[in-house]
Amino acid sequence: MEQARKKKKKKGIIIAVVLVLLLGGGAVGVTSCMKGMSAAMEGLSGMELETVKAEKRDISNVISVSGTVESENIVKVTSKLNAKIKKLNVEVGSHVKEGDVLCEFDSTDLQQQYDTLSKTQSNSQNQTANQHKINERNLENAKRDKEINLQQAQRAIDDAIEAQNEAYNKEAKIVDELNEQISRRDNAKNKMNNAQDQEEYQEAMQTYQEADALVQSKEASLEAIRDQFSSYEKSVQSARDAYAAAERSADSVIQSYQDVLDAEQFQQNNDVQTDLDKLAESIADCVVTAPKSGIITSLNVSEGSIPTTEALMTIEDSGALKITVQINEADILNVHEGQPAVVKTSATGDKEFEAEVSRVVNIYNAGSQNAMTGVSSGGGYSAEITVKDSKELLIGMNAKVKIILEEKKDVLAVPYESILTNEDDDTKSVLTVVRNADGTATAKAVNVETGMESAYYTEITSGGLKDGDEILMTPGAYKDGDTLPLFDSSQAAQGAEADE
């Protein structure tokens, strides 16, 4: 865009130089000066004019950056085994598929350890099998004893409750008998009070005395049996407590035998089987396979050697490539994830690869500094560009990237320098070329409104300009109605074919 601005000022600079040359001689009079200026203007007006046609085109604003093609997915193949590499099947640059065997460790020592421990486990299992059966039998006996003891304790509870219920029933019977004698005594007393003669009175008195004696006897019996109620309740509670104690004791014995069995199994699993499982896993890990498809880009082991680091090699996925580029501070806020981009490389010539901004790192990186010169390089912000179809690209290629910040398709556009701006009202116009019948050409001002600006072209959003209109590339000092120098329109330049 800066270049377009400079080109637009070119004719103004020439005029200024002519004025300086004309005014440089102090002895020359004003009249001579004016004549010189007039001649200079005539010379400029006689220059061949460059025209261009207003056309619909695609325009865009881009940021040009560069970087190196690298894999988007990098996997480090690691191993913690401390053994020799028995066989190595790859080298740097090898293409591998997921599941391919990359290398094999020597598993001889691990297999010997596994066989020895497996034999030990077998002997141990044979030795403990009998004890295990004894422990299971003890557990079953404890469960059976619990059942018997609880049955006995329950019978004691039932007997105590039965004795208590008998006491309650006996109390109820005495209460009924007592109430019966009280009623008899009351009736006898009434007869005594209502007796008509001595014989009737004596008979009622005898009945009264007999009933009263029985009432006193029944009250004594009732009091005696009620005094025993607390002992019956205690007997029931004691029987229930004995049941609970027997249950707790039996459960404790059962749990102790169960703990023996659990500990036996736990000891076997942790001390032997766990070690066997670890050895089996290590033996399986001796065969190292590719976790994903890609290219071997680094190799830290060799056949017959013992790895000194966990990272054996690096696999980079050549099917998913990215380019990390540095972004200037002035541009970083304009770069966003998802923006389209175009990638070119020296190896692929003019072919363009579609891409997009997949990640923007808004953290400033100071880069590196040369210890000798003190000059810093590689600093700034960065972004990752993902290439959509990368079959022809190779990891390590130098790439040029254009990040498309803004883009418009099939819009009417003219070169930036062809637009005139009125400083008074900020309106814009272009000078169209009107070709007359007599062979002359006339400049005609056409007002326009502009939209998006690219590095070279400016969008025309409205106004009188139409697709195909011929306009002056650099209007310079010409204005509406000026006669334009004759020129061969077939030789007129049409501007750059591609947007910068």
How much is the pLDDT for 162? Answer: 94
- The residue type of 12 is G
Q: Whole-number mean pLDDT of the chain?
A: 83
Domains of the chain plus CATH, in order, are 1-47 (no CATH), 48-68+319-491 (2.40.30.170), 77-102+286-313 (2.40.50.100), 110-281 (1.10.287)
How much is the pLDDT for 266? Answer: 63
Region of 463 on the Ramachandran plot (φ > 0 left; ψ -120 to 50 alpha; else beta): left
pTM (2 decimals)? 0.48
Work out whether strand 294-299 and strand 311-316 pair parallel, antiparallel, or are unpaired.
antiparallel
How much is the pLDDT for 379? Answer: 67
How much is the pLDDT for 202? Answer: 93
Q: Give 230-247 pLDDT, tens digit per residue.
A: 999 999 999 999 999 999
Among 318, 300, 391, residue whose Cα is nearest residue 102: 300
Residue 157 half-sphere exposure, CB side, CA atoms within 13 Å?
A: 14
Q: Are 45 and 485 in contact (CB under 8 A)?
A: yes
How much is the pLDDT for 313? Answer: 93
How much is the pLDDT for 36? Answer: 41
Mean pLDDT, range 129-140, rounded to an integer: 87
Whether the per-residue pLDDT at 23 is higher than 60: the answer is: no
Mean pLDDT, range 355-377, rounded to an integer: 69
Whether the per-residue pLDDT at 170 is higher than 90: the answer is: yes
Whether the per-residue pLDDT at 496 is higher than 70: the answer is: no
Whether the per-residue pLDDT at 173 is higher than 90: the answer is: yes
E-strand stretches of 72-146: 74-78, 85-88, 95-96, 101-105
Q: Give 264-299 pLDDT, tens digit per residue.
A: 766 555 567 888 899 999 999 999 999 988 899 899
Mean pLDDT, range 22-37, rounded to an integer: 39
How far is Cα 163 from Cα 159, in angstroms, rounded to an integer? 6
E-strand stretches of 290-387: 294-299, 311-316, 321-327, 340-345, 353-365, 368-369, 376-377, 380-387
Nearest-5° angle of CA 150, CA 155, CA 161?
125
CB atoms within 10 A of CB 108: 12
Q: What percent of the chain has pLDDT over 90?
A: 52
Residues 6+ apart with CB under 8 A from 433: 51, 441, 442, 443, 444, 470, 471, 472, 484
